[in-house]
A and B are shown apart, each in its own frame.
Chain A
Amino acid sequence: MMLLQSGVEGLQLDPVVLGSAVAVLVSAYVLARLTAFALSAVAEQSPKRRITIKMFIPITAFCIYGTAVYLVLDPLLRLSTTQLVAASGLLGAALGFGLKDLFAGVIGGLVLVTERPYQVGDKVTIGDHYGEVTGIGLRATTLRTPDDTAVRVPNASLFTANVANANDGQPEMLVVVDVAVAASADIDRATEIMQDALVTSRYVYVDDAHPAVVRVEDGTYYRTIRGKAYVADLRDEFAFSSDVTERTLAAFEERGIDTPEGPPLAATAE
């Protein structure tokens, strides 16, 4: 049998072992993709538990890839003490020089799976990036921003950047809508209109635990009517915000509630 000599004496790779390793890795990849696809399909059929089900996608992927790595390395790494020391030295050097970030990303991924600061489907802010978590990989998390851009954030960022989770694993999400009115406007009527616009939206979700509320904030030249309500599906965040704003402004105009005017042209020119 043809033997392939590695750099470490005794660590011998024959074509059968190599073929098996490749087969295991390919199988693991296919299985992980199929599982992710199946779980996503099931999750979309159950909107209330969508995020809970999607949470199992990265966990399953970690389990599958972990098992695959074990199956691949087990027949290879039956090393003597000398070989183990040599391999450890090589691994340490590799981590120190080239794979440091990759290794940190993988550890970050493990922390993500165990601590779960966010899950697939959550709306999060990591550092300067805001969006929906569409995938949690071994090395990086993928966010889909409101501009439909996929941003891959290294899992290692978890150790250094602030992570804000807007819905914390729940399908519902609080959305804040601000509309300004003139200081002279009828605030009570404007508040009623905003309240109506919130609770009549097709996207809204209201119950005792998810109330819709309206607050008024006073400013020097105008007042801000701030509506807060939950959407049933966090993916409707911007559609809800737009729907409420549009109908609120239309009702303001219909009922003669003034919105703030822009600064005088002369002042703008200065």
Chain B
Amino acid sequence: MTESRSDAKQRPEDGVDPGALLGDDHDAFEAVLTGDDPGPLAVVGQPYSGRHRVLDAAAERLDAAQVELGPGDGIETARRALGDGPVVVGGCQHLYRRAVGGFDALELFLDAVAAAEGPVVTGWNCYAWTYLTAVRAVKRAVPTRVAVGPVATAAIAELILGRYGQMPSFLTDDPGSDRLVTVRRYPVGWGDWTVSIPLPVPTSDGSDPDSADPQDVVFERLAATAEGNVGVATALWEGQSGAAVRPSDIAPPEASSDLDREAAFCLRIILSKERVERAELDAVLGGGVDRLLAQFRRDGLVTVEEATVTLEPTAVPTVVDATDRGRIL
């Protein structure tokens, strides 16, 4: 658990306006802060997407006590913070465990939230939130929800350019001077079904990447790869160490192709918790965790430090894709 805003370590989203992070949901956020909506409020977002920035802003505006729950934190930590005054509780995804009897702490917390006198703002990982709203009546206790991100390409570019003084040279990918055509992917949609179809286009086309500003192309690629996630974009950028950067340099780690359901399930738990105790994974998966974690670590998806497993920020798009493909809740 981390108390209040004493954490001096700079977060990726620091400096980003909460309004830019919340987009259309900013009005709902303001309504809770001004008291027009009694809440309680759920701030929901992807890992590293800037949830903490929004929670910090809420705590500042409400002059609230602030608690950030971590792996292993129980209900008592959350309940201590829930008094008469305003309170901001982040990391609420750590209040449940995906096992029989694993929702007891969450239920007690939701009861305490419902009984709280002052305004309550809670922070949730969006994958944990989706799961919990499907299997538990979370929305009944926390009826107002705002979603964090995705952030526009321009805002990500502004953040990166403003934060890092020394910029590498921006280059476009060399399409090959002898090539007459290049392959582009075009989305084709029918209803809610969209597929990306690769089509050859002439390199002399006016929309050729060569004609665009290399810096814009790099940041477009960065924002697209990170899917607008500020923390992921920052981590991908920090992963570039050369004197020059090309769009093709911006790539998340790849998961092993032979990801079975157990591996995907384990990844989904890590994705929805962001940080999780190894003991929790052992309890939920019932064995074989060491081998899975070794595989994930080799693929650059997680870091394992002592008893805690942490999702790598650069791996978020990869893990989301891998677990969504398996339709794991």
- Do B101 and A251 touch (CB < 8 A)? yes
A185-229 contact mask (Cβ, 8 Å, vs B): 1 or 0: 000000001001101101111110000100000000000000000
- Do A232 and B103 touch (CB < 8 A)? no
- Check: A144 CB closer than 8 A to any chain B CB: no
Taking the closest CB of chain B, its distance from the CB of A240, in whole angstroms, is 11
Chain B interface, >50% SS class: loop
Name which residue of chain B comes closest to A208, CB basis: B134
Residues of B with C-beta under 8 A to A203: 261
- Check: A66 CB closer than 8 A to any chain B CB: no
User: Contacts A196-B101, A247-B100, A248-B100; is A212 near B135 (CB within 8 Å)?
Assistant: yes
- Check: A49 CB closer than 8 A to any chain B CB: yes
Residues of B with C-beta under 8 A to A205: 327, 329
Q: Which of A45, A197, A203 has the most CB of B within 10 A?
A: A203
Residues of A with C-beta under 8 A to B329: 204-206, 232
Residues 233-266 (chain A) with a chain B CB within 8 angstroms? 233, 236, 247-248, 250-251
Total interface residues in chain B, CB < 8 Å: 18
Taking the closest CB of chain A, its distance from the CB of B319, in whole angstroms, is 15
Give bound CA distance, A196 to B98, whole Å.
Answer: 9
Taking the closest CB of chain A, its distance from the CB of B127, in whole angstroms, is 14
User: Contacts A47-B327, A233-B327; is A206 near B101 (CB within 8 Å)?
Assistant: no
Taking the closest CB of chain A, its distance from the CB of B258, in whole angstroms, is 14
Name which residue of chain B comes closest to A197, CB basis: B100
Residues of A with C-beta under 8 A to B327: 47-48, 171, 205, 232-233
- Do A199 and B328 touch (CB < 8 A)? no
Residues of B with C-beta under 8 A to A196: 99-103
- A sample of 25 inter-chain contacts (CB < 8 A) reads A45-B325, A47-B325, A47-B327, A49-B193, A193-B100, A193-B101, A196-B101, A197-B100, A199-B134, A200-B98, A200-B100, A200-B102, A202-B328, A205-B329, A206-B134, A206-B329, A207-B134, A212-B135, A232-B328, A232-B329, A233-B327, A236-B261, A247-B100, A250-B100, A251-B100
Beyond A47-B326, A204-B329, A232-B329, 8 extra complex contacts between A and B, CB < 8 Å: A49-B193, A193-B100, A196-B99, A196-B103, A197-B100, A200-B102, A202-B265, A206-B329
